[in-house]
Amino acid sequence: MIPRATSSVLRQARTQLQPRGPTPVASLSALARFLSSLAVLEQRDGKLNHGSLGAVTAAQRLGGSITGFVAGGNIKAVAEEAAKVSGIEKIIAVDNAAYDKGLPENFAPLLVENIQRGGFTHVIAGHTAFGKSLMPRVAALLDVQQISDITAIESENTFVRPIYAGNAIATIESSDEIKIITIRGTAFTAAEAEGGSASIEDGVDPKAETTTEWVVENLAKSDRPDLATAGRVVSGGRGLKSKEEFDRIMLPLADALGAAVGASRAAVDSGYADNSLQVGQTGKVVAPQLYLCAGISGAIQHLAGMKDSKVIAAINKDADAPIFQVADVGLVGDLFDKVPELTEKLKQ
Amino acid sequence: MSALRILVPVKRVIDYAVKPRVNKAQTAVETAGVKHSMNPFDELSIEESVRIREKKSYGPGVDTIIAFSCGPPKAQDVLRTAMAMGADRSIHVEIKDGEEVEPLSIAKLLKAVVEKEKIDLVMCGKQAIDGDEGQTGQMLAGLLGWGQATQASKVSFEGEKNVLVEKEVDGGTETVKSRLPMVITTDLRLNEPRYASLPNIMKAKKKKIDKMTASDLGVDLTKRLKTIKVIEPPPRKGGGKVEDVDGMIAKLKELGAL
């Protein structure tokens, strides 16, 4: 363990001393040498969550050295998986089952200790349930104002993020010494899971007490692609009228397209679809190649979750529905006729 | 443990149904003359606190519900709404019109109030629909060293100490058990907020709003983030309509989506 730690310390010293090749952005090149990012990676049951590798992509755009962070019980396999991710120089791993469920009460002090020991300038995590719950707590412990849900990086201290449900895009500059950042997954695709060869180092474990314990989880099981990262999404709204109809009309269409299933808040609140399928400001933000929706009027809260999709197609019987203002392809008609017809024709 | 003292932070934001417009100078979203109301997630927090009292779901009961807001003079309107829904009194940290306060500073103000008022449960909205940051509750829990449960869809109590919270997470729900004191942030499916009735609106006018400043609470509101510019997102132009399903398939193929 000691030789491993020593070699990685040397490695870190080297990366800080050696000037890097010319960087296209002039303002970044001088700083890149001093920049060091910590990408907080997620794991579940001993498997790396590849969705969380977007943090590595964001770190690559910043330049500078990249360290990955993983914690949990029997973390070795996850650390080895993470070590292969392209672009990462070092993995800090903390082996302790107390971190398996990502409870912020002990995970935040853990991260703070490792951030301070490693002297990182940027700490990046996904704007996922895990990141959203954990990172503000980390930021407060470090006395830093976090930057949430960024969609672009302009320089090492300037970032772009949507506000007002995506109705405005703000460019903001941080004066904090450590930048605590969460990223929007659809804006930073996951880094390559192969091609890297990072060293693995044990992190410090402050073993903070927590007054919170994990009790149970209830996750919707699905064989379909994951909503947040799917290439195609079909989504249904209030127009579906019932859960039975939602399942009868939308699921075959999803299968014909190999798409994930989403829903509007109205459909979720009426019990037609599970909460986890909600697309919008308060649900998932998606940006697939194709977003095909039926029976959705297009309220601004819904548009916030899907308007960055490459192609939007809409079927609605109301020709004046706001969804048609953003749809690349609109079809006015009764979804109970049109969607099954579309499904049949797509199958051929 | 004695009866609960609950703190509910509320924010005055542009009404959720209004489409925000960026100002001409591209420095912010236009707020003058635009309808404002209470952040929808904060309505859920007030509602949940009032229900804990009404349904006696916590054994020793609820001692007091204090609404808090940091905002311009007009933030009093949302505090009045909170009191009409059932909060007992309010604290207003007044700032100038147009001034913005970051979540970290709000969390520090709240920490001071929690300590001053001997609060044991803070009910926050999961995010404000203007900044969409989703930080304040977690930051406050961190500063206090308290347990936290974010995006709550169900809150129940077990004895005098334990709180069970069902949280909305990616892919479903997760339940955690934490001990009081703690911070909970509320999500949409937690409850359906009530409308304030006219008699209650009248009664709320008699309830007390304590005005104070950030320096009374010993908090520095200096911002760490500077807004360089605010722009409208690139508009999407609708591609027009097609006549039938065949037209839709043909157009999708043309666009490379199939």
Which residue in chain A has the smallest CA separation from B190?
A: A269
Is A17 inside a domain boundary? no
Which residue in chain A has the smallest CA separation from B127?
A: A282
Question: What is the mean pLDDT of the segment spanning B12-38?
Answer: 95
Beta carbons of B45 and B188 less than 8 angstroms apart: no
Is A190 inside a domain boundary? yes
End residue of a domain, out of A202, A223, A244: A202
Q: Which of B135, B140, B158, B188 to mutate to test the interface with A (most CBs of A within 10 A)?
A: B135
A243-257, A324-338, B83-97, B237-251, range with the lowest pLDDT = B237-251
Is A298 inside a domain boundary? yes
Number of domains in chain A: 2
DSSP code per residue over B45-103: HHHHHHHHHHTT-STT-EEEEEEEEEESTTHHHHHHHHHHHT--EEEEEE--TT----H
Asked if A325's CB is within 8 angstroms of B238's CB, the reply is yes
Question: What is the mean pLDDT of the segment spanning B87-101?
Answer: 95
**Upstream peptide bond of B181 is cis (omega within 30 degrees of 0):** yes
Which contacts of A95-100 are long-range, i.e. CB under 8 A and separated by 24 or more positions? Answer: A95/A71, A95/A202, A96/A71, A96/A72, A96/A205, A96/A207, A97/A72, A97/A73, A98/A207, A98/A210, A99/A71, A99/A72, A99/A73, A100/A72, A100/A73
pLDDT tens for residues B29-51? 999 999 999 999 999 999 999 99
Judge whether A37 is annotated as a binding position: no
More confidently predicted of B171 and B153: B153
Rounded to whole angstroms, the Cα distance separating A78 from A247 reads 37
Which residue in chain A has the smallest CA separation from B169?
A: A129
Beta carbons of A203 and A109 less than 8 angstroms apart: no
Asked if A139's CB is within 8 angstroms of B104's CB, the reply is yes
* Predicted local distance difference test score (pLDDT) of residue A86: 96
Give the angle A145-B105-B138 at the CA atoms, nearest 5°: 65
Chain A residues within an 8 Å CB radius of B149: 212
Burial B13-39 (b: 16+ CB within 10 A, else e): bbebeeebebeeeeebbebeeeebbbb
Q: Which of A216, A323, A329 to mutate to test the interface with B (most CBs of B within 10 A)?
A: A329
* Predicted local distance difference test score (pLDDT) of residue B240: 86
Which residue in chain B has the smallest CA separation from A284?
A: B170
Report residue B241 as tokens: 């309509």
Main-chain dihedrals φ then ψ at residue A23, nearest 5 degrees: -100, 140
Judge whether A325 is annotated as a binding position: no
Whether B257 shows a pLDDT value over 50: the answer reads: yes
Report residue B248 as tokens: 């839709």
Q: Are A261 and A180 in a shared domain?
A: no
Rounded to whole angstroms, the Cα distance separating A9 from A47 reads 27
Judge whether A265 is annotated as a binding position: yes
* Predicted local distance difference test score (pLDDT) of residue A5: 46
Per-residue pLDDT of chain A in tens (348 residues, 90 and over written 9) = 444 444 454 455 444 444 444 444 445 545 555 899 999 999 999 999 998 999 999 999 999 999 999 999 999 999 999 999 999 999 999 999 999 999 999 999 999 999 999 999 999 999 999 999 999 999 999 999 999 999 999 999 999 999 999 999 999 999 999 999 999 998 999 999 999 999 999 999 999 999 999 999 998 878 899 898 899 999 999 999 999 999 999 999 999 999 999 999 999 999 999 988 999 988 899 999 999 999 999 999 999 999 999 999 999 999 999 999 999 999 999 999 999 999 999 998
Is A53 inside a domain boundary? yes
Main-chain dihedrals φ then ψ at residue A318, nearest 5 degrees: -95, 110
Is A214 inside a domain boundary? no
Domains by residue range for chain B, with CATH: 4-254 (3.40.50.620)
More confidently predicted of B237 and A231: A231
Rounded to whole angstroms, the Cα distance separating B103 from B119 reads 19
CB neighbour class for B175 (10 Å; exposed up to 12, middle 13-18, buried from 19): middle
Burial A33-48 (b: 16+ CB within 10 A, else e): bebbbbbbbbbeeeeb
Nearest to B212 by CA among B86, B141, B122, B117: B117
Q: Are A167 and A241 in a shared domain?
A: no
* Predicted local distance difference test score (pLDDT) of residue A18: 47
Q: Are A193 and A246 in a shared domain?
A: no
Q: Are A160 and A276 in a shared domain?
A: no
Q: Are A189 and A294 in a shared domain?
A: no
Beta carbons of A296 and A236 less than 8 angstroms apart: yes
Whether B211 shows a pLDDT value over 90: the answer reads: yes
End residue of a domain, out of A183, A202, A221: A202
* Predicted local distance difference test score (pLDDT) of residue A26: 46
**Closest by Cβ to B139, choosing from A139, A331, A338:** A139
**C-alpha B66, offset from chain centre:** 14
Instruction: Please count the residue pairs, one from chain A and one from chain B, whose beta carbons lie less than 8 angstroms apart.
Output: 254
Asked if A324's CB is within 8 angstroms of B241's CB, the reply is yes
Q: Which of A107, A128, A137 to mutate to test the interface with B (most CBs of B within 10 A)?
A: A137
* CB interface of B with A, residues 168-227, below 8 Å: 168-179, 182, 187-189, 223-227
Rounded to whole angstroms, the Cα distance separating B83 from A76 reads 53
Chain A residues within an 8 Å CB radius of B137: 136
Q: Are A180 and A37 in a shared domain?
A: yes
Domain that holds residue A293: 232-346
Report residue A70 as tokens: 């993983």
B255 touches chain A (CB under 8 A): yes
* CB interface of B with A, residues 58-117, below 8 Å: 102-104, 107
Using CA atoms, how far residue B37 sits from A253, B162, B206, in Å, is: 40, 34, 21
Local confidence band at B1 (pLDDT 50, 70, 90 cut-offs): low
Q: Are A164 and A276 in a shared domain?
A: no
Q: Are A184 and A74 in a shared domain?
A: yes
A132-141, B134-143, B169-178, range with the lowest pLDDT = B169-178
End residue of a domain, out of A187, A202, A217: A202
Beta carbons of A89 and A65 less than 8 angstroms apart: yes
Beta carbons of A289 and A259 less than 8 angstroms apart: no
Q: Are A57 and A173 in a shared domain?
A: yes
3-state helix vs strand vs coil in chain A, percent to 5? 35, 25, 35
Is A215 inside a domain boundary? no
Q: Are A192 and A249 in a shared domain?
A: no
Local confidence band at B96 (pLDDT 50, 70, 90 cut-offs): very high
Chain A residues within an 8 Å CB radius of B176: 103, 212-215
Q: CATH no. for residue A136?
A: 3.40.50.620
Q: What is the value of ipTM here, to two decimals?
A: 0.96
Main-chain dihedrals φ then ψ at residue A200, nearest 5 degrees: -115, 130
* Predicted local distance difference test score (pLDDT) of residue B231: 97
Q: Are A253 and A316 in a shared domain?
A: yes
Rounded to whole angstroms, the Cα distance separating A275 from B14 reads 26
Q: Are A198 and A239 in a shared domain?
A: no
Is A114 inside a domain boundary? yes
Tokens 């994990």 belong to A214
Q: CATH no. for residue A279?
A: 3.40.50.1220
Chain B residues within an 8 Å CB radius of A211: 146-147, 178-179, 182
Asked if A174's CB is within 8 angstroms of B225's CB, the reply is yes
DSSP code per residue over A109-168: HHHHHHHHHHT-SEEEEESSHHHHHHHHHHHHHTT---EEEE-EEEETTEEEEEEGGGTE
Separation in Å, CA of A308 to nearest CA in chain B:
9
Report residue A89 as tokens: 């120089």
* Predicted local distance difference test score (pLDDT) of residue B49: 98
User: What integer best gives the mean pLDDT of chain B?
Assistant: 96
Considering just the CA atoms, what is the radius of gyration of chain A in Å?
Answer: 22
Chain B residues within an 8 Å CB radius of A338: 245
What stretch of H or E contains A58?
helix A54-62
Is A110 inside a domain boundary? yes
Whether B71 shows a pLDDT value over 60: the answer reads: yes
